[in-house]
Chain A
Amino acid sequence: EPEVTQTPSHQVTQMGQEVILRCVPISNHLYFYWYRQILGQKVEFLVSFYNNEISEKSEIFDDQFSVERPDGSNFTLKIRSTKLEDSAMYFCASPNPAVSTDTQYFGPGTRLTVL
């Protein structure tokens, strides 16, 4: 089964610094998502990206956040001026078009720790 990959697996940063989280989704599809999960809490939708544009974003996804597709295969989530409350697991997800377009398969996640 195709996999979603994410790097790094763990990122430690100082408050106020910028971080970039990377993801390589399942290939040959257009939808892509970022989620976060604060320790002990539920998975929260951040943003969906379709055909190189933001499709939907939640109220969490404010001006501190941005997403890009710097090349044909990688997606990035940039968090500017990180805050302590940004500490969480960040997951990217994409459908597997071989199964259906509305399922979502998650990458292994990046654990972000803001000190």
Chain B
Amino acid sequence: QKEVEQNSGPLSVPEGAIASLNCTYSDRGSQSFFWYRQYSGKSPELIMSIYSNGDKEDGRFTAQLNKASQYVSLLIRDSQPSDSATYLCAVVSGANQFYFGTGTSLTVIP
């Protein structure tokens, strides 16, 4: 069984701070990694993808991947109240099969 683990939170940060979200995965052969944001009652919304070790930046978001440690993270800089949501880590294994973590609930306090 391929597992994707995330701290469920809740994680609370003040507005303007950096939010750090973490994810570990069990399938060492995984090659594609994604972060999604999900607002309550809505569908997951793609934030970023990352495929290579290291950092990938997109605006206020930075994804970090360490395949040796089977670890992927998401940093959100200058957090805004609108960033309050559940963040889902997704890992692709096998023939394009996505495995999702349970998500980390983030609250940005104004």
Q: What does DSSP make chain B's interface, helix, strand, loop or mixed?
A: strand
Contact for B44 among A43, A45, A48, A100, CB less than 8 A: A43
CA distance A91 to B41 in the complex (A): 12
A105 interfacial contact with B, CB 8 Å: yes
CA distance A14 to B32 in the complex (A): 40
Q: Is the CB of A100 within 8 A of B100?
A: no
Interface size class on chain B is 20 to 34
Q: Chain A residues with Cβ under 8 A from B32's Cβ?
A: 102
CA distance A107 to B44 in the complex (A): 9
Q: Is the CB of B49 within 8 A of A33?
A: no
CA distance A41 to B6 in the complex (A): 12
Q: Is the CB of B44 within 8 A of A91?
A: yes
CB distance from A101 to the nearest CB of B (A): 8
CB distance from A14 to the nearest CB of B (A): 24
Q: Is the CB of A91 within 8 A of B34?
A: no
Q: Is the CB of A44 within 8 A of B96?
A: no
Which of B15-23, B61-69, B76-84, B87-95 forms contacts with chain A? B87-95
Q: Is the CB of B102 within 8 A of A48?
A: no
Contacting B at CB under 8 A, from A78-115, are 89, 91, 100, 102-109
Q: Is the CB of A102 within 8 A of B102?
A: no
Q: List chain B positions with a Cβ less than 8 A from chain A.
A: 32, 34, 36, 42-46, 49, 88, 90, 92, 94-103
